[in-house]
Amino acid sequence: MLAFIYKSVRKDDTYLYLKQRDGFDALPAPLREQLGGLEFVFEVDLSPPRQLARADAAKVRTSLLEAGYYLQLPPRHPDALDERR
């Protein structure tokens, strides 16, 4: 299964995987607005045993099949969330 990956120009470290190249119709309008412009990065074959650095490839495949897209958000850093330290 191929996935087409775009990065948000508005949201740092936020990537959108699409089942179809330029298949933006799969996105809910509010999400599309939040992401702003999207810049194509590359395409990747997600067939097993493919592993991804910051996402579970099986979950990405499932989301692509069910919704037509997968949104990869920036990683959370526990220290950044707890400023009381």
Given a cut of 60, whether residue 85 has pLDDT beyond it is: no
pTM reported for the whole predicted model: 0.86
Can you say whether the dihedral through the CA atoms of 55, 56, 60, 61 is positive or negative? Answer: positive
Closest of 27, 32, 7, 38 to residue 69, by C-alpha: 27
3-state class of 34 per DSSP? helix
Q: What is the pLDDT of residue 76?
A: 80
- Give pLDDT, residue 80: 54
Structure confidence by residue, pLDDT tens digits, 8-51? 999 999 999 999 999 999 999 999 999 999 999 999 999 989 99
pLDDT of amino acid 3: 97
Q: What confidence tier does 66 reach under pLDDT thresholds 50, 70, 90?
A: very high
Please name the residues in contact with 4: beta carbons below 8 A apart, sequence gap of 6 or more: 17, 18, 19, 20, 21, 22, 23, 40, 43
Residue ranges of the domains in the chain?
A: 1-16+23-53
- Bridge partners of residue 4, in order along the sequence: 18, 43
